[in-house]
Chain A
Amino acid sequence: MSNTIYILFGLCLAALLLMVFERRVYRLIIYTGIFSLIMAGIYLFLGSPDVAMAEAAIGAFSVIFFIVVAEKYYRKYKKNRQLAAEGKEEKKHMEKPAKSFSWGNAIFGLLFVGGIAFLFLHFSPSMEAREYTTYLRDQFLVNAGHDVGGQNVIGAILMGYRIYDTLFEALLLVMAVTAVTQLSFFGDYAVKQGTQSVVKKDKVAFYSIRIISPLILIFGIYLIMNGHISAGGGFQGGVAVAAFFVCRYLIHNIYDLPVKKILSMEEIVFFALAVFTVLTVFIAPAVLQYETLRSETFQTIQLVSANALVGIKVACGFFVIFYRYIAVERTFE
């Protein structure tokens, strides 16, 4: 069992080496996905299943999706503009510079990174004792069930002790969604009709997505609803629910959900989350009695509602970002 983690580390380093020496971008993206999946495995073995789920959902699925869209857009744009730009200054910029590797660059990078690494390792305190136990850790582990409720201590921290962190994280996601929506409207607004999805040509991929996608939706709802008693929670479940809608796009190949409405829905849900937080943190202790406040029913309702609100918000945000990226990807078809 203890060897497993070293095997995973080795695989991870192998993926990293492949990535460093790979020049073809599509292969690099696939290696990135493999890397993130192995990282998720490492987190799982080190006793953090919640982080593993988040990493698998985000690192191995979402980021790859975006990078593929960027690379595809770049290639299509280049192909589209190559003929029109013949003999103009634009063509000069679109050609690749001949030399893509320089020894000066590499040596400078090695020296710089080596220097930082040496300084870091030289001045870092000795960690061989591996005693990181803190007072906070014990306090959270022992009291979370009584203070916040539920059995998942990570969920209790996210939705109870540090709910303002969660709130500001949600706010940051709202800002990112707004930025992506703003910046992605260039050129054509509407998405053109037609069959673009490559998935349809591949029957195995088509039917497997079709069979799996409802299971993904059920899994996402399960994660949101049981975030307080087992690994999971609003963020992981929200990403899974958004993944269902991406699968729906891949199956039907249709761009039919109104982005603007979902964006406003996300903002409303975020506002509801803020109001809910204020209600449960400030108003409820002033109004309710201690026994009611610490009762299992009240705590369960509070945790499940907070998880559900976060889940809906994250699902809407991810969905809007995905749909805008799909619109960018479909620009030249």
Chain B
Amino acid sequence: MFGLGFLEVFPLVLIFVSLFGIITTNNAIKTIIYMTILNAGVITFWIILGSEYGTTTLPPIMVDDIISQTNYLERMADPLPSALMITAIVIGFAVTAVLIIILISIFRRYRSTDWRVIVPLAKKDYKGEFKPFEEDIPATPYPAKGKGPIISEYIKYPGPGLKREEKGGVK
């Protein structure tokens, strides 16, 4: 198809289906899920470009089992796309984590995860016409040292000396 092999078409299918999903969905959570698929599609594309020999490609690790095979240097996967894609996966994770916490903040302000409700309210908010809901708690900044409620107000671990029931374990 268009001069592409089957292996290259597969990530393109992923990319375009996820693009379609991003455009058409109304649910903000689904948008984020489709963005992760888009990320996976791009990564797959690069991995496939790096592996010329399909499933018989060898990993680029110079151990005896791999070096003893015939034509091992030719059959090895390209290490540069692999290294860059590890970076891409970790950055994709960081972006997803921040996006989801922003989504929760959006939900707290506009009380919805539907883009058809969020977008008009956000436009209003930008003009300064939007009135936050009564019980809305303003987003609080990170508390300064020695001030404000304490983050370290965590629950104390009962310690290993106690019995299992006291720790709250199963009977």
Contacts and interface: CB of A to CB of B under 8 A. Distances in A.
Interface of A: 1-2, 4-6, 9, 12-13, 16, 19-20, 25, 28-29, 32, 35-36, 39, 42-43, 45-51, 54-55, 58-59, 62-63, 66-67, 69-71, 73-74, 77, 81, 84, 88-90, 93-94, 96-97, 100, 105-106, 108-110, 112-113, 116-117, 120-122, 124-128, 130-134, 136-138, 140-142, 144-145, 151-154, 156-158, 162, 165-166, 169, 172-173, 175-176, 179-191, 193, 195, 200, 203, 206, 229-231, 233, 235, 252-261, 314, 321, 324-325, 328
Contacts of B58: 47
Contact of A157 (B83, B101, B107, B156): B83
Contact of A51 (B43, B54, B156): B43
**Which 7 residue pairs of A and B lie closest in terms of their CB atoms, listed nearest first?**
A47-B57, A176-B94, A126-B3, A47-B77, A189-B149, A190-B153, A121-B2
Contacts, number: 338
A205 to B, nearest CB: 11
Given A9-B10, A36-B40, 8 more contacts: A48-B85, A70-B104, A74-B113, A81-B135, A94-B112, A121-B4, A137-B80, A328-B101
Interface range, B side: 35 or more
Contact of A154 (B19, B54, B86, B101): B86
Contact of A133 (B3, B52, B143): B52
B81 to A, nearest CB: 8
Contact of B117 (A67, A97, A258, A261): A97
B33 interface: yes
A25 B117 contact: no
A310 to B, nearest CB: 10
A113 B20 contact: yes
Contact of A256 (B6, B73, B84, B157): B157
Contacts of B49: 132
Contact of B59 (A47, A96, A125, A328): A47
B56 A1 contact: yes
Given A48-B51, A74-B107, A230-B61, A176 B97 contact: yes
Contacts of B3: 124-128
Nearest to A145: B62
